[in-house]
Structure 1
Amino acid sequence: MPTTGPSPRLWDAGAVALSLLGVYTALVLEPTTLPGEAPAWWWVDLAGGLAASVLVLARRRVPVGCALVVYALGVVCTSSWLAGAVATFSLAVRRPWPTAAALGALSLAIGPLQGVFRLQTPDNTSLGAYAWAAGVTVVVVATGAAVRARHELLDSLVERAERAETEAVLRADAARTAERTRIAREMHDVLAHRLSMVSLHAGALAHRRSASPDEIRDALEVIRAGARDALVDLRAILGVLRDPDADPDADAGTAEVGTAGVAPQPTLADLGRLLEGVRSAGTPVTLQDERADGTVPDECGRTLYRITQEALTNAARHAPGRPVAVVLRGEPGGEVELDVSNPLPAAGATGPPGPPGNGLLGIAERVALAGGRVLSRGPEHGRFRVAVRLPWRAEPRVAAAAREEIA
């Protein structure tokens, strides 16, 4: 039951007071002992009424048992009549109405048994007296059932509110977890590319014994810049994973150590800077842009940028020094196609081919989430080719589902 309202002790005091009022009216205002009855019956009636008044304190724990004992006392003690009404009301509040109605009918049925032990007057055994007792019982049972229904309604409303609040918290946690998972996926693309460039420059520097001091200085500067950028990216991503309330528009390049700044996500507008970084690492890259319009939506542009980044990282790792061709084509309202290819390395240069790695699997997942399709992601006519096609203005299904859930 709801916890609002008077305390249980106050209800108990009221129930006992009402029961004692029944004792007072039966024994003081209208004495129940009749001429011919032993005077001891007055004291028996008083003891029974007091006992029934105390028994109503157990009406919450054992409502059925309390009612039955009070009804039994009512067979010989007329002063317990209000205690019986209190027990019946409490029974109707705490048990389904058929149970309360059945026990109320039982109290009416055992009423005539009082004539076995006590003398009765014509008024006590008249049809009007029985009708009055039945009417009181019906009112008490109906009122108790109405109170029980109200309590059940309030309980259901409270339960629904708590469930809605819990579901809202779970939805928020799920959205936060999904966002953190997305950021964790970005870590593979960003750091793999940065560290691959650092590894390539370090490897070239280790093998070029005859490099001039200027060349060595330039290579070390590229390594230092790549390591610094990787550290900044790692700090930003881990900062967001630690702090779900971090500002996604903060500049990671200016974030202090331990803060949660995150740089804006790159789009196709940043593709030129990506290609310049790959070229500076020693991988020739050409870009052929055949789009009818350069304004690719940001969601689509981010997906294309990450796929290009992953494809270039794989090319630099597995076919170092081989030229890479990047082709973009498409038109607004249709689809945009990305094609990244490079010649396969010489036989035995990188070992036997293995199954697709996490990078290629990640590309397929990104394309699927964007509503596109993968045209190729493996060897094809002497070249390793990654080709995908995305809707020009398609909305990622994960974002759309999240917005629908929030709405």
Structure 2
Amino acid sequence: MLSSRDPEIARRVRDVIVVVVIVAFAVLPIPDDLYRARGLLVIPALLPAGVMLVRRKWPLLALAVSLLCALLIATAGTIAPSALVAAAVGAFAVVDQRGRLIGLIAVASAALVAYLSNGVALGGDLFDSTAFQFVVLILLGGALGDATRSRREVVSAITERAERAEQGRDEEARRRVAEERVRIARDLHDVVAHQISVISLNAGVASSALETRPERAREALTTIRSASRTVLTDIGGLMALLRADDADDAEDARSLRPQSGLAELDALIARFTAVGLHVEVDRERTAVALSPASDHVAYLALLEGLTNAHKHGADAAVFVSIGTDADALVLTLVNARREAPSDRAVSGHGLRGLRERVTAVRGQVSTDDAGGRFVLSVRIPTERSSR
């Protein structure tokens, strides 16, 4: 397995190889006297091997020292292979570390200096093919440096895009978790709030009528038992949906209790009537085309309005109007309020969740609490107006 020390070890190995190659060109007995440094010329022939160790930090310095040594040896009539090989390595480092523009200038200058120094060693014969040998090597070093830099930039760009994509996936996952939490809170409110309200109110009725009106207390306890079973069934269906491992299981869980719509309005009113709420309904006979989502939201709006009227109403009565207005379904619920309005009553979790659901189907919710009456108005676009 690779560790953080492996790149440093690889760099040191490359440094050793470069130094060994340069030293070999400087001290090995090359048959051709034109390429053999003798006497004190061995010092400038070996010097480039030392500066190669700092070529990553100071690439221009390493290249300049190598060319200077090659030019110094050339004045003695000798071509210095060690210095020119070091110049090719320096050209690679300049392009790799300093970029294409600076590298192009440096490589061109180095090739020109190498060509002229070789010409000096050849007695001024600039057209001898020997003068071009190490020039090609320097140009090749620059080209390889440019290729290495380009590859590193491509890898860096790919890595950056991958990191951005991973960050985007993380943010998307967090957003979906937040949306799922909101959805769970809404579903819990939808399936639990009304039944808990019914249980609470009937528990009060049962406790107050237990001795004076045992029949009424018995009816209240029967209602509590029925509401408890309903809320347990609803919570069980919600838990099955949350525990579903895949989309098919989720669909099966949803199918256990399909979403309610306005077709179940009579059953909804009957449930509230059974717990003592008088519901007066004014309903238009004109059929309204709603999408399944809008139909369910309309049902939830009526459920929320009737629950609030049951909990906070003054005379256990509510007026419900269901009509249409300019390609939209309009629901209005009016009930007398029990006491002065509070911020919690007007903007509780139920109404906040209802606003979010209605907004999701491009509808509008408005409330009014004046003159002793609370008015809830919901406007939901029909399918025709949504196109």
What TM-score, normalized by structure 1, do the two folds share?
0.72
What amino acid is aligned across from residue 369 of structure 1 in structure 2? Answer: A
Q: Which residue of 1 aligns with 2:77?
A: none
Cα distance in 2 between the residues matched to 1:370 and 1:191: 23
Q: Name the one with the larger helix percent.
A: 2
Cα distance in 1 between the residues matched to 2:204 and 2:20: 95
Could you list the per-position Cα deviations for residues 107-130 of structure 1 after superposition, in whole angstroms to 9, with x for gaps in the alignment? 467669979xxxx96615433466
Q: How big is the shift at 1:96?
A: 0.7
Q: Which residue of 1 aligns with 2:39?
A: 40
- Is 1:95 the equivalent of 2:98? yes
Which deviates more from structure 2 when the two are superposed, residues 231-240 or residues 214-223? 231-240
- 8 Å contact kept, 1:21–1:82: no
Q: Which residue of 1 aligns with 2:198?
A: 197
Q: How big is the shift at 1:312?
A: 0.8
Which deviates more from structure 2 when the two are superposed, residues 84-93 or residues 321-330? 321-330
Q: Which residue of 2 aligns with 1:335?
A: 328
Cα distance in 2 between the residues matched to 1:326 and 1:114: 102
Cα distance in 2 between the residues matched to 1:137 and 1:252: 72
Q: Which residue of 2 aligns with 1:313?
A: 307
Which deviates more from structure 2 when the two are superposed, residues 299-308 or residues 271-280? 271-280
Q: How big is the shift at 1:214?
A: 4.6
What amino acid is aligned across from residue 339 of structure 1 in structure 2? Answer: T
What amino acid is aligned across from residue 361 of structure 2 in structure 1? Answer: A
Cα 1:139–1:362 change in 2 (3 A) is same
- 8 Å contact kept, 1:233–1:252: no
Q: Alignment partner for residue 277 of structure 2, among 275, 278, 283?
A: 283
- Is 1:80 the equivalent of 2:77? no
Q: Which residue of 2 aligns with 1:400?
A: none
Q: How big is the shift at 1:178?
A: 1.9
What amino acid is aligned across from residue 183 of structure 1 in structure 2? Answer: I
Q: Which residue of 2 aligns with 1:377?
A: 367
- 8 Å contact kept, 1:33–1:42: no
Could you list the per-position Cα deviations for residues 28-75 of structure 1 after superposition, in whole angstroms to 9, with x for gaps in the alignment? 1423478xx9x5236436xx44x6446545544553444344445445
- 8 Å contact kept, 1:75–1:111: yes
Q: Secondary structure at the match of 2:374?
A: strand
- Is 1:296 the equivalent of 2:290? yes
- 8 Å contact kept, 1:367–1:373: yes
Cα distance in 2 between the residues matched to 1:86 and 1:133: 12
Q: How big is the shift at 1:308?
A: 1.0
Q: How big is the shift at 1:200?
A: 1.0
What amino acid is aligned across from residue 89 of structure 1 in structure 2? Answer: F
Q: Which residue of 2 aligns with 1:171?
A: 172
Q: Which residue of 1 aligns with 2:126?
A: 127
Q: How big is the shift at 1:137?
A: 3.6
Cα distance in 1 between the residues matched to 2:224 and 2:320: 25
| Identical pairs, percent | 27
Could you list the per-position Cα deviations for residues 148-183 of structure 1 after superposition, in whole angstroms to 9, with x for gaps in the alignment? 224323432342244234324423432342233233
Aligned positions of 1:10-89 closer than 5 A:
15=18, 19=22, 22-23=25-26, 27-32=29-34, 39-41=38-40, 43-44=42-43, 48-49=45-46, 52-53=48-49, 56=52, 58-60=54-56, 62-76=58-72, 78=80, 79-89=82-92
Q: Secondary structure at the match of 2:106?
A: helix
Q: How big is the shift at 1:394?
A: 7.8
Aligned positions of 1:143-222 closer than 5 A:
143-210=144-211, 212-222=213-223
- 8 Å contact kept, 2:289–2:383: no
- 8 Å contact kept, 1:22–1:81: no
Could you list the per-position Cα deviations for residues 331-374 of structure 1 after superposition, in whole angstroms to 9, with x for gaps in the alignment? 9x9211212223x15xxxx3322232323444444333322234
- 8 Å contact kept, 1:22–1:83: no
Could you list the per-position Cα deviations for residues 81-104 of structure 1 after superposition, in whole angstroms to 9, with x for gaps in the alignment? 112202211321232123223433
Q: How big is the shift at 1:381?
A: 6.9
- 8 Å contact kept, 1:296–1:392: yes
- 8 Å contact kept, 1:60–1:90: yes
Which deviates more from structure 2 when the two are superposed, residues 61-70 or residues 319-328? 61-70
What amino acid is aligned across from residue 85 of structure 2 in structure 1? Answer: L
Cα distance in 2 between the residues matched to 1:131 and 1:16: 24
Q: Secondary structure at the match of 1:28?
A: coil
- 8 Å contact kept, 1:371–1:394: no
Q: Alignment partner for residue 377 of structure 2, among 372, 378, 387?
A: 387
Cα 1:313–1:124 change in 2 (3 A) is farther
What amino acid is aligned across from residue 323 of structure 2 in structure 1? Answer: R
- 8 Å contact kept, 2:198–2:275: yes
Cα distance in 2 between the residues matched to 1:235 and 1:368: 28
- 8 Å contact kept, 2:362–2:380: yes
Cα distance in 2 between the residues matched to 1:64 and 1:378: 78
Cα distance in 1 between the residues matched to 2:52 and 2:226: 83
- 8 Å contact kept, 2:320–2:331: yes
Aligned positions of 1:358-369 closer than 5 A:
358=348, 359-369=350-360
What TM-score, normalized by structure 2, do the two folds share?
0.75
- 8 Å contact kept, 1:75–1:114: yes
Cα distance in 2 between the residues matched to 1:123 and 1:176: 77
